[in-house]
Structure 1
Amino acid sequence: MSHDQPPPVWLITGCSTGFGRELATEVAQAGHRLCATARRPEDLDALADRYPGSILTTALDVTRQDQIEAAVAAATARFGRIDILVNNAGFGYVSTVEDGDERQIRAMFDTNVFGLFALCRAVIPGMRARRHGHIINITSIAGLNGNPGTGYYAATKHAVEGVSDALMHELTPFGIHVTCVEPGPFRTDFAGRSLKETPVSAPGYDSAQQRATSIRASSGHQAGDPAKAATIIRSIALSASPPRHLLLGRKALETAREKIARLASDIDRFESVTLSADYPPGS
């Protein structure tokens, strides 16, 4: 950011706790302008009081289109534009696929997936008109790899990864970057009050049961430092050539490499079968 340019404008969802709160604080401390959102905007009062003039707080339940439109309009009216959108709002759900509760699954998709899609649709026109912007989607290592007991959560994050691939191709000609941040375990509220769960009902799902137990037990002891993550995200948000994928934490790195190795092994092992599905060349 050069001295003759105004500080960038961020809109971050889910700023009351976790990554959202740490990133909002990091952005404000850096002197950037911010529309910080939460379902309960009063949870952001202390943050706004610390940085008067540079932070706008507003209510935003990402499952409500009217609040999405109001938040984007308020940020644009206050700051003139939105340079960086961070889709952070979301929650987890632990369940086997068999035991999944329809209401819980749909509620999670409404927040983690459809709310994120709606925010992108609301912000892209302004970025496209200015031919500048950066959309940062906080997914998870679960967006690249599913685990027993968290299949539905992984499905929401896989959906975000898929749409982000398409967005990258669609928006690159307009100078708009797209990044998915894929954290491993971090010391946020993910494994605390915000985590939903349907208990395992059938015997034999040992791996799913163990994962559910370990997620709860690890709360407050995860290796990932949210403050360090916030600093990294702020840095890549301003990069002229940001990554499409940003893994955060050793566990995320190890998991991604294991997934890539399994994928490469299957591709190589069945290469001849894969190629046999086409018509003969020239036919």
Structure 2
Amino acid sequence: MTNQKVWFITGASRGFGLEITKAALAEGNKVVATVRSKPEQLAAQLENNENLLVTVLDVTDEAQALDAAKQATDKFGRIDVLVNNAGYGLLSAVEEASNEEVKQNYGANVFGLLNVTRAILPYMRKQRSGHVINISSVGGLNGFVGWGIYGSTKFAVEGITESMALELAPLGIYATTVEPGFFRTEFLDPTSLIRTAHVIDDYAGTVGEMRSFATQVNKKQPGDPKKLAQAFITLANAEKPPVHLPLGNDTLAMYREKTAKFEKDIEDWYDVITGTDHDDVRGF
């Protein structure tokens, strides 16, 4: 295969990570797939593919991230595509989430992503090529009842990725944030979604209804994870990949609705928005 790449995928034991791993291997690429435990199980599931290296990585452990990156380059010589997939959801009113619950969600979804990115980028900078793909969410583009804390971690991923895209471009490295909508994975299972212990009755009509909805819609989401994985293959092979890639008709519709409302707010508040400069710099 002339366009063979080395992929590094976090959270590869199930969901998006597993499907992307399968798709990358099927295309003939080499893949470093990281899991939090029992790497032999994933290796066996993928028939001990000779192009696969499964290694243990808790993304919140920076030393493990550095070691996993070294294992990858020792095995395959380079890293071309990093997929920061590991993370989990937190369903809670903003007020309900404890300080520790918030820190843990940020620890996995933001600080963990940064640990892995810092571990991988030196190799990409050395080879003057590469593509960092950070998995965000429709919740990183829009605020939703019950997803304020989780969504804020994904808003952080959006900002980090946009800045990285600017910083890395002169070095021949791309950065993309992918915003999946509602896909039929294990995301809403208890093993992937944390619900806060503290529940406030005043939020029963908003967050309470979202908790019920999350249970009802589980495994009925419109998105197909296998098709998402193929979109990642297309993205990784693109000559000029985008900085943002929203996936799913639901994501696209929600984002367009948000931007339309934003434009309406600008129109309604235009005089206030544009009236805050010093008088001597009006029209700057």
TM-score with structure 1 setting the length: 0.95
The answer as to 2:124 corresponding to 1:127 is yes
Q: Which residue number corresponds to residue 100 of structure 1?
A: 97
**Equivalent residue of 2:47, what SS?**
helix
**Equivalent residue of 2:223, what SS?**
coil
Q: Determine which of 62, 67, 74 is the counterpart of 1:65.
A: 62
The superposition leaves residues 73-121 of structure 1 with CA deviations (integer Å, 9 ceiling, x where unpaired) of: 0001011110000000000010101111222211110000001011111
Q: Determine which of 152, 155, 159 is the counterpart of 1:155.
A: 152
The answer as to 2:42 corresponding to 1:44 is yes
Q: CA deviation at 1:37?
A: 0.5
Which residue identity lines up with residue 259 of structure 1 in the other structure? K
Q: Which residue number corresponds to residue 114 of structure 2?
A: 117
The answer as to 2:136 corresponding to 1:139 is yes
Q: CA deviation at 1:282?
A: 4.7
Is contact 2:179–2:246 with CA below 8 Å preserved after alignment?
yes
Q: Which residue number corresponds to residue 270 of structure 2?
A: 271
The superposition leaves residues 168-187 of structure 1 with CA deviations (integer Å, 9 ceiling, x where unpaired) of: 11011111111111011111
Which residue identity lines up with residue 197 of structure 1 in the other structure? R
4+ long deviations beyond 3 Å: none
Q: Which residue number corresponds to residue 244 of structure 1?
A: 243
Cα distance, 1:207–1:74 mapped onto 2, change above 3 Å? same
Q: Which residue number corresponds to residue 230 of structure 1?
A: 229
Q: Determine which of 176, 181, 205 is the counterpart of 2:178.
A: 181
Within a 5 Å distance, the mapping from 1:165-180 to structure 2 comes to 165-180=162-177
Is contact 1:13–1:38 with CA below 8 Å preserved after alignment?
yes
Q: Determine which of 192, 197, 214 is the counterpart of 1:194.
A: 192
The answer as to 2:11 corresponding to 1:14 is yes
- Cα distance in 2 for residues equivalent to 1:248 and 1:109: 23
Which residue identity lines up with residue 44 of structure 2 in the other structure? A
Is contact 1:34–1:56 with CA below 8 Å preserved after alignment?
yes
- Segments of 5+ residues of structure 2 without an aligned counterpart are none
- Cα distance in 2 for residues equivalent to 1:224 and 1:265: 30
- Higher mean displacement: 118-127 or 53-62: 118-127
The superposition leaves residues 191-225 of structure 1 with CA deviations (integer Å, 9 ceiling, x where unpaired) of: 00210002532225412211121112111111100
Work out the number of aligned pairs and report it: 279
The answer as to 2:193 corresponding to 1:217 is no
Cα distance, 1:133–1:202 mapped onto 2, change above 3 Å? same
- Cα distance in 2 for residues equivalent to 1:266 and 1:65: 42
**Equivalent residue of 1:108, what SS?**
helix
The answer as to 2:51 corresponding to 1:54 is yes
- Cα distance in 2 for residues equivalent to 1:249 and 1:134: 22
Is contact 2:89–2:193 with CA below 8 Å preserved after alignment?
yes
TM-score with structure 2 setting the length: 0.94
- Cα distance in 1 for residues equivalent to 2:249 and 2:262: 20
Is contact 1:48–1:56 with CA below 8 Å preserved after alignment?
no
- Cα distance in 1 for residues equivalent to 2:281 and 2:141: 37
Is contact 2:92–2:148 with CA below 8 Å preserved after alignment?
yes
Which residue identity lines up with residue 144 of structure 2 in the other structure? N
Q: CA deviation at 1:248?
A: 1.1
Q: Which residue number corresponds to residue 255 of structure 1?
A: 254
Which residue identity lines up with residue 138 of structure 1 in the other structure? I
Identical pairs, percent: 41
Cα distance, 1:178–1:234 mapped onto 2, change above 3 Å? same
